[in-house]
Amino acid sequence: MIIAVRCSMAKYTLPPLQYPYDALEPHISKEIMTLHHDKHHLAYVNGANAALDKLENARKNNFTGIDIRGIERDLSFHVSGHILHSIFWTNMKPNGGGKAGGKLADMINRDFGSFDMFKVQFSETAKNVEGIGWAILAYDPLSDQLLTFNIEKHNMQVGQNTIPILVLDVWEHAYYLQYKNDRGSYINAWWNVVNWDDAEKRLTKV
Ligand code: MN
């Protein structure tokens, strides 16, 4: 039996930031944005590609002596990290903030009661992430509604097949250089850089 081995898997690449590193100041410092994008996000891209290389190699060796569970754990972590960071950068913009508009505003009002109530719920989600992780607002196509999740790491406690609309990184690398251990102040400041047009666009694409 001849088993085809795909020789070269599609690789992930780091998307450039669409605004200058200091554009979100004073809310998020240039130093944080530079390290976060150029070092941390890049590490997830490289990690995802390294896991793909390992899978390619595993197939060539017919999985002999291969820890596929470990490789796939790495893949899940790094791909999720890559995707969440890619969304995070576009979910923010200089002079952002304010309120959601259009279809997103309608759905927030319908599913959370009001924009202010959504903001409270999302902030609570973010504040209460245990250790490292994310707060996300996601769309669930099955129930046709918006849900919030606290994600541990990049890939634990994810609602399967939900679509991220708005994501907030609460790993310490996202705020510690500027806010120290005061995650709450970082979250409050972050609302001033939210790009609601981008979030709205993500919702209308689904
Ligand atoms: Mn991060």
For 5-30, what is each residue's pLDDT tens digit? Answer: 665 679 999 999 999 999 999 999 99
Residue 118 C-alpha to ligand 1 middle, in angstroms?
A: 23
Which residues neighbour 41 within 8 Å (Cβ) at sequence distance 6 or greater? 14, 81, 82, 85, 86
pLDDT at 4: 64
Residue 172 C-alpha to ligand 1 middle, in angstroms?
A: 8
Report pLDDT digits (tens) over 112-121.
Answer: 999 999 999 9
**Kindly report the CA angle at 201 between 154 and 199, in degrees rounded to 5?**
45
pLDDT at 90: 98
Residue 100 C-alpha to ligand 1 middle, in angstroms?
A: 24
pLDDT at 2: 59
How far is residue 154 from each of residues 14, 51, 93, 131, measured CA to CA in Å? 17, 16, 22, 12
pLDDT at 202: 96
Neighbours of 156 (CB within 10 A): 13
Helix (H) or strand (E) holding 167: strand 163-169
Residue 133 C-alpha to ligand 1 middle, in angstroms?
A: 8
Residue 134 C-alpha to ligand 1 middle, in angstroms?
A: 9
- Supply φ then ψ for residue 149, to 5 degrees: -135, 145
Cα(119)–Cα(112) distance, rounded to whole angstroms?
9
Residue 148 C-alpha to ligand 1 middle, in angstroms?
A: 19
Residue that has been written with the tokens 């995802």 in this structure: 48
Would you say 134 and 169 are in contact if contact means Cβ atoms under 8 Å apart? yes
Ordered structural domains, the chain, with CATH: 30-90 (1.10.287.990), 102-204 (3.55.40.20)
pLDDT at 70: 98
Neighbours of 61 (CB within 10 A): 10
Which residues neighbour 14 within 8 Å (Cβ) at sequence distance 6 or greater? 37, 41, 42, 45
Which positions of the chain have pLDDT values less than 50? Answer: none
Residue 36 C-alpha to ligand 1 middle, in angstroms?
A: 6
